[in-house]
Structure 1
């Protein structure tokens, strides 16, 4: 069962891969920024083409964002977009996260459905777990958005601190996703066992050996 959780987080990680690589490559120069956009686009198409075919919201938003950014920066030479890429990136991620929550379809549902039987797709605890996980990502993206906005409008000598905190938040989001997914799965199994009047093997009383 742990494999299922790992695969779920791996699918989400693949969707974040373009953003992660973009963050590593993009620097202070316009050339590096344009290169980062091209690489992010290539990664999206190569690694997430199946998710694009299935209509995954986060993947499509990622593709459209980097297409727009490349056209605006590389072709139209829009320096406002270039200088606000950090804010625009996290604003986009925060918007799709909270927007999917408001629409009643948190984007993590699409990844979670890969790992569970179709009969559980309308299960309340299953949907609630994805609302919590998506909400956690919304908080991560909002904090990153606030930090990038502050960094854009204030000169800060130790800008690397913002970078480190940003990556720590992403790792924390991944860790929370994995842990909460595992706990919600175990809770759902316990509820199903209780409904059917069965006990888990670990809860079964030990039989005394015959004397």
Structure 2
């Protein structure tokens, strides 16, 4: 079922709801925020966001089938909120430490289970952005399996990083394991979601030159500089390491910008059509 166009009332909301990022946003918010003293805030925001997304989607897409993520969002965070309210102080402290890893692992299960039953969760969003004639095309199916797998892997990396901080470092608020690595995994998955459909379209249909790998790496390169600054501010690593990250980020940014400026603008690289399978 198609939503209104981006120029119609509610069009921007429709465009947002058609993106899998919206369905994953409660999990990302919760994973990044949760920690000692922040469980209530994290689960409250995640549940509120889940309910808002669910209600907005039901209002905009009347009669449309429920999405896996929409249902999982509301159920998981509602149960987590009830458990948090009813739990003992000891259980509450345990949730503050490990709930982030539980939520990340839950999304890993959702991602790979949806692939196992042949309905990768990104496919439900993709179908709202393309015509029915594309739904069973090999390219559309391939793109959604790959992107769903990448998101599952990203949340697995986040869970492992958080678990390392909790169980090995005994520091749930470790800057690297609780924040930087997890955010980098999410940024990588987001960038891949934008980049990969264009690659498939170019290779399959000859729709222009495939986007270079630098397009995939640009968001990560942009992340290196603030990571270096934050590591210096919070003394999260040796000073030389933080300075090195900043220098590497500057060098990569300059190299990418120089590469973009040197790219011919004539007929050598024909304009690339918007991929009908892009999920954003």
- Asked if TM exceeds 0.5, the reply is yes
Inter-CA distance 89–144: structure 2 relative to 1 (3 Å threshold): same
- Residue correspondence of structure 1 range 77-88 to structure 2 within 5 A: 77=88, 78-79=91-92, 80-88=94-102
Inter-CA distance 159–72: structure 2 relative to 1 (3 Å threshold): same
Question: Which of 141, 145, 159 lines up with 2:159 in the alignment?
Answer: 145
The answer for the alignment partner of 2:45 in structure 1 is 39
Measure, in 2, the Cα distance between the counterparts of 1:36 and 1:148: 16
User: Is 2:85 the partner of 1:69?
Assistant: no
Please give the TM-score of this superposition, normalised by the length of structure 2.
Answer: 0.60
The answer for the alignment partner of 1:14 in structure 2 is 22
Measure, in 2, the Cα distance between the counterparts of 1:159 and 1:189: 46
Inter-CA distance 24–131: structure 2 relative to 1 (3 Å threshold): closer
Question: Which of 93, 104, 107 lines up with 2:107 in the alignment?
Answer: 93
If asked which structure has higher relative contact order (CA below 8 Å, sep 6+), I would say 1
Kindly report the root-mean-square deviation, in angstroms, between the aligned alpha carbons of the 2 structures.
2.6
Measure, in 2, the Cα distance between the counterparts of 1:20 and 1:155: 22
Measure, in 2, the Cα distance between the counterparts of 1:138 and 1:151: 20
The answer for the alignment partner of 1:209 in structure 2 is none
Inter-CA distance 43–25: structure 2 relative to 1 (3 Å threshold): same
> Unmatched 5+ residue regions in structure 2?
1-5, 7-14, 59-63, 208-269, 272-280
Say if 1:140 and 1:173, in contact at 8 Å, map to a contact too: yes
Say if 2:18 and 2:126, in contact at 8 Å, map to a contact too: no
The answer for the alignment partner of 1:119 in structure 2 is 133
Shift of 1:16: 2.2
User: Is 2:66 the partner of 1:55?
Assistant: yes
Higher share in helix: 1
User: Is 2:197 the partner of 1:181?
Assistant: yes
Deviations 1:155-178 (A, max 9, x none): 266810111011011011000000
Inter-CA distance 67–101: structure 2 relative to 1 (3 Å threshold): same
User: Is 2:181 the partner of 1:165?
Assistant: yes
